[in-house]
Structure 1
Amino acid sequence: MTQTRSGQADQSLQSQRPQLIVHAGTHKTASTYIQERLHRNRKLLSSQGISLQDPLECKPKPKKLAAELCKRRTKRWKAFFMQQPEGQHCLLSAEQFAVPLTDPQCIRQLEALADAAGYELHIVIFIRSQLDYINSRYIYSLRRFYHHQTFEQFVDDALQGKLQNEKPKRGKIKRRQDVFDFWNYFQPLLKAKAKGLNVSFLPFRQEGVDPFEQFIRTINLSTTLPWKSCPRKHYNRSPRTRGVWLARVLSQLLRENGISPKSIGNSSQIILNEERQRRWNDPSFWGYSRKLTKKVTRHFEANNDRFAQAAWNCSWNDAFSTSNPDTQRRRTAYAPPSIEAEVRMHAVAQRLLNRIKQQQAAGHFSALKRLIRMMLRR
């Protein structure tokens, strides 16, 4: 889309070929926040010639369309295109698209589907520096009790292309493990971009810019338009230093008691709720020592520059040096200051374990009662 200086959509919009804009994450790059702001601004988007496939109001949901790609199916896509208003651009946002967009066949299929429906495909993906990204994924995976690794163990696995609790396949797509090596992970998209596909890789929070504004500018809309904001609850909150320590202890207890994290209702909120109730006001977790920072930086250095040249025609440092001073951050992690403090923290973890056991027992009892009622009706 083109913009006039006033920020309004250019009058030639209807004469352009509509775009199918696919915002594909990646993981831990403010996707939930961006989606909430898109939802709140769907009328403004429409006035600018963009139809949002809002998961709260529209079917098929974007994540279902991503799953359709992974399964090599087209039924939902055809239904989606049939519903779209003529002449408007279409916008989909779901981080689940990142998986099929690492597969060359899925990329070709999506291009063909868009072209057949009269759209030009535009893919938008945020890129987060590996130091920040790995740290964030560690907190995310501990918060959901996927493992009880130390940060150092998690980093070693990340450098080898291993991720905890990742399914080997999604649909017919083999899930890639090298998610932190962007040069290799996004090779299919980089090749498609070199052949002419419109792909926008955005350095996450470049120069401290709000990611929603980064996204809006990328789809050629003005940031001066009256965009509605959203409450802070839609910012992706993560456990802080004591919460991370507690999550690791609780995760180990769950493993010892044979409790799968998938069987725990609303597992991602347990540690956050505990922090809130106890009014812990700790600093953000940052697991790197200076030595580990250098190790990770050197590991990705060569491929990062290859990726940056292909994606942005500049060096990696030019894209990230001013916006991500992660190499200068000092380690911030919790360690109990005394034996008494450690005993208290372990007691908190044990209480949370007991609460989870009670909830599961109550759930099993309710399920048994429903089963008995069903059998008696026969």
Structure 2
Amino acid sequence: MELAARRHDVLILSSEAISGIVFYHYRLKLVEHFRQRGYAIHLVLYLRDSPEFLNAAYQQNTRMMREARSFHDYVAFTALGSGGPRPVLRLTGRLDDRLRAAGRLHFRPYDAALREKGIEQDFVDLLNTVCRDEGTATADAPLSVRDVATPRRLNEGCGPLQIEVSRRIAAALLERYPRRLLVQASHGQSHADQVARGIRRAGIREPSYWGFGPELYHRVREALAEENERFAQAVWERSWDAIFPPRPDERLVSNDLVDAGTDEMRALADRLHARIAPSIEAKVARRVARLKPSER
């Protein structure tokens, strides 16, 4: 109703949840809803190299306390299992005819956009090009980054200490509750903020988490090389390595506490976990108790 009451030339829906529904599961009811109302549909997806994607996904799921496996186990399951990489890593699935029919597809290399312009500026430049091609009124007054300012990102990065503390709390929660119920009941962002505050109060400034060493990194790239190359040639007519050059081995140093933690850092993780975990576990228990039967 709010959309119907406001004049607009451009409507932007940006959500990782929507991305998964559309690009991974091909559930296109939302797309069809807007198509039937006269919208020209453009689907934009920013892509990372496979190891970078796995590292970011692990950070996000763990800091939200929905992942308790070690990074190595997570990567082995997601990318290196006997059945091959999981669907989330199979990029050629993004070229499915159902998606091609749903709207015009735009695939953007995340690393290049971040390095050259920043993600927001790259997206605004693309948006202005789309508006010009579609002949919208916005084409006469190009948008700037300020016009599409985004709220705080929920998938912010974090450091190895936060990963370790969150992983321990997640392990305890997942022993008590099925993962689906935990997702329903927990406020992952507030839990992540609570751990981050505890780390800041300890006077620690963390580096960004990185879980790959050289051997695991190259195994993942090799496992997905054929899939990624087919996608890159189909979309960009260039090789995957030209779009996403591999990291040099000297930059492939894991800082996960399992691989590289000192006794001092592990002791600090013990203290933070002991201080923070009871509060978070109690909050989750209260929220689980308040769930309706239909939500369980």
| Of 255, 262, 270, the match for 1:337 | 262
Which has the larger displacement, 110-119 or 286-295?
110-119
Match of 2:165 in 1: 246
Change (3 A) 1:114 1:357: closer
Match of 1:30 in 2: none
1: CA distance between counterparts of 2:110 and 2:91?
A: 14
Instruction: Tell whether 2:98 aligns with 1:179.
Output: no
What is the CA distance between 1:240 and its match in structure 2?
A: 0.2
Instruction: Tell whether 2:217 aligns with 1:308.
Output: no
1: CA distance between counterparts of 2:242 and 2:88?
A: 22
| Secondary structure of the structure 2 residue equivalent to 1:349 | helix
What is the CA distance between 1:120 and its match in structure 2?
A: 2.2
Question: Which of the pair is proportionally richer in strand?
Answer: 1
Paired residues of 2:159 and 2:207 also in contact (CA < 8 A):
yes
| Of 73, 80, 88, the match for 1:153 | 73
What is the CA distance between 1:96 and its match in structure 2?
A: 2.6
What is the CA distance between 1:211 and its match in structure 2?
A: 0.7
| Secondary structure of the structure 2 residue equivalent to 1:200 | strand
Paired residues for 1:289-304 under 5 Å: 289-304=213-228
1: CA distance between counterparts of 2:220 and 2:232?
A: 17
**Per-residue CA distance 1:251-272 (angstroms, 9 max, x = gap):** 2333456697444442232322
1: CA distance between counterparts of 2:150 and 2:18?
A: 26
Change (3 A) 1:213 1:252: same
What is the CA distance between 1:205 and its match in structure 2?
A: 3.3
Paired residues of 2:120 and 2:145 also in contact (CA < 8 A):
no
1: CA distance between counterparts of 2:31 and 2:281?
A: 48
Kindly provide the amino acid, as one letter, of the partner of residue 104 in structure 2.
N
| Secondary structure of the structure 1 residue equivalent to 2:146 | coil
What is the CA distance between 1:244 and its match in structure 2?
A: 1.2
Change (3 A) 1:316 1:350: same
Kindly provide the amino acid, as one letter, of the partner of residue 277 in structure 1.
R
Change (3 A) 1:152 1:198: same
Task: Structure 1: state its 5+ residue gaps.
Answer: 1-57, 60-79, 163-176, 368-378
Question: Which of the pair is proportionally richer in helix?
Answer: 2
Paired residues of 1:144 and 1:261 also in contact (CA < 8 A):
no
Q: Quick check: which has more Rg, 1 or 2?
A: 1
Paired residues of 1:132 and 1:326 also in contact (CA < 8 A):
no
What is the CA distance between 1:292 and its match in structure 2?
A: 0.3
Match of 1:97 in 2: 18
Paired residues of 1:125 and 1:202 also in contact (CA < 8 A):
yes
Change (3 A) 1:276 1:312: same
Match of 1:213 in 2: 121
Instruction: Tell whether 2:39 aligns with 1:119.
Output: yes
Kindly provide the amino acid, as one letter, of the partner of residue 19 in structure 2.
A
What is the CA distance between 1:295 and its match in structure 2?
A: 0.3
Kindly provide the amino acid, as one letter, of the partner of residue 214 in structure 2.
R
Match of 1:203 in 2: 109
RMSD: 3.8
Which has the larger displacement, 252-261 or 292-301?
252-261
2: CA distance between counterparts of 1:277 and 1:288?
A: 28
Paired residues of 1:122 and 1:197 also in contact (CA < 8 A):
yes
1: CA distance between counterparts of 2:109 and 2:79?
A: 21
Paired residues for 1:243-282 under 5 Å: 243-255=162-174, 261-262=182-183, 263-265=185-187, 266-282=190-206
TM-score by length of 2: 0.73
What is the CA distance between 1:231 and its match in structure 2?
A: 9.7
Match of 1:349 in 2: 273
2: CA distance between counterparts of 1:358 and 1:100?
A: 31
Task: Structure 2: state its 5+ residue gaps.
Answer: 130-138, 291-296
Paired residues, number: 266
Which has the larger displacement, 348-357 or 120-129?
348-357
Paired residues of 1:84 and 1:90 also in contact (CA < 8 A):
no
Change (3 A) 1:188 1:341: closer
2: CA distance between counterparts of 1:105 and 1:139?
A: 25
| Of 52, 55, 63, the match for 1:143 | 63
TM-score by length of 1: 0.59
